[in-house]
Amino acid sequence: MVVLSPPALDHCSLIKTCKPTTSVFTEIPVIDISDPEAKNLIVKACEEFGFFKLINHGVRMDLAALLESEALRFFNLPQSEKDRAGPPDPFGYGNKRIGPNGDVGWVEYLLLNTNPEVTSQKTLSVFQENPEIFRSTVRDYISAVKNITFEILELIADGLKIEQTNVLSKLLRDEKSDSCFRINHYPPCPELQALSGRNLIGFGEHTDPQIMSVLRSNDTSGLQICLRDGTWVSVAPDQNSFFINVGDALQVMTNGRFKSVRHRVLADNMKSRVSMIYFGGPPLSEKIAPLECLLAKEEESLYKEFTWSEYKKSAYKSRLADYRLGLFERT
């Protein structure tokens, strides 16, 4: 990995690059939600990879395509207009800077509240022509993705043989759930390819702090996950499926049985990538701890007690690539 040096690409001199990887990992679990075995397959995938692809989910993907085109209309506006919808503090438009602690990537994005009624005027002001179309498309898409997430979490509880099958989903169903929604745009960077044959890091390696994240992207590659042995592998894009990530909070709630997946995104040299992610988080006051019913006799929690609010605060003080759960492990 090298850091670009000016003047070649002055505007992105802090953004890291890496050699393009051509091989695609073919062993990512693909789960059909209507398969009677889905609950067991999902549990297995969450244990092995913290990641899987969901097919046959029943969400209308024309909704995703519509939202993608609305988002692209926004990302194609002049920079000065987009900047009026920023900074993302915590919601709004962001460009290259990720989070508050100096992380940067070859990406621009919109971070939105999952309750579109409170999408700020600052964010909407940029959709001058018809902010209502954007607002209602976001609302419908988020509502569909939330429902599929509830279903997955209920299958997980069932697969883990937990009697109360809504034990996880209720945290996201709660009207105080602290969830958010992100639309990322990774513009292509042909100058760089010409210069070095390398890829820009679009979104640096990290784990998601929440319970579960649900991603849909267009047909441009870029997403990579880190396997348990530390190897990075590329995930083939599929615009009709969802990619599901286990987040840090679910790792804790399963006492480490599920692993929160480390992932990153490389920008493509030729094609623009758009991804939309729903991050399902619990209410701020929720205590995050291993579910009692999952602890075997004498098994102790690997983690100290904390609330989602405490974890979130700590996460937002960290750098993107940090192992955030380290501070909360019992020694």
Looking at the annotation, which residues are catalytic? 273
Which amino acid belongs to residue 210? Q
Considering only residues 115-144, where is the footprint of ligand GA4 by CB under 6 A? none
Q: Are strands 51-55 and 30-32 parallel, antiparallel or unpaired?
A: parallel
Give the count of residues interacting with ligand GA4 (CB under 6 A).
16
Binding window for ligand GA4 (CB under 6 A); candidates: 123-131, 204-212, 238-246, 250-258: 204-212
Cα angle 21, 22, 27 (rounded to 5 degrees) comes to 100
Which residue type, as a one-letter code, is found at position 304? K
**CB neighbours of 167 closer than 8 A, spacing ≥ 6?**
157, 291
Among 182, 198, 264, 273, binds ligand GA4 (CB under 6 A): 182
Residues contacting residue 295 through CB under 8 Å, at least 6 positions apart? 255, 301
Tell me if 323 contacts ligand GA4 by CB under 6 A. no
Contact between 259 and ligand GA4 by CB under 6 A: the answer reads no
For residues 281 and 249, is the Cβ–Cβ distance under 8 A?
A: yes
| C-alpha pair distances (Å), 74 with each of 88, 149, 190, 292, 307 | 15, 27, 22, 46, 36
d(CA 267, CA 264): 10
Position 315 contacts ligand GA4 (CB under 6 A): yes
Contact track, ligand GA4, 88-117, x by CB under 6 A: ----------xx-x-x-------x------
179 binds ligand GA4 (CB under 6 A): no
| Minimum separation from the CB atom of position 318 to ligand GA4 (A) | 5
Residue, CB closest to ligand GA4: 99
Which residues sit at the interface with ligand GA4, rule CB under 6 A?
98-99, 101, 103, 111, 180, 182, 206, 208-209, 279, 315-316, 318-320
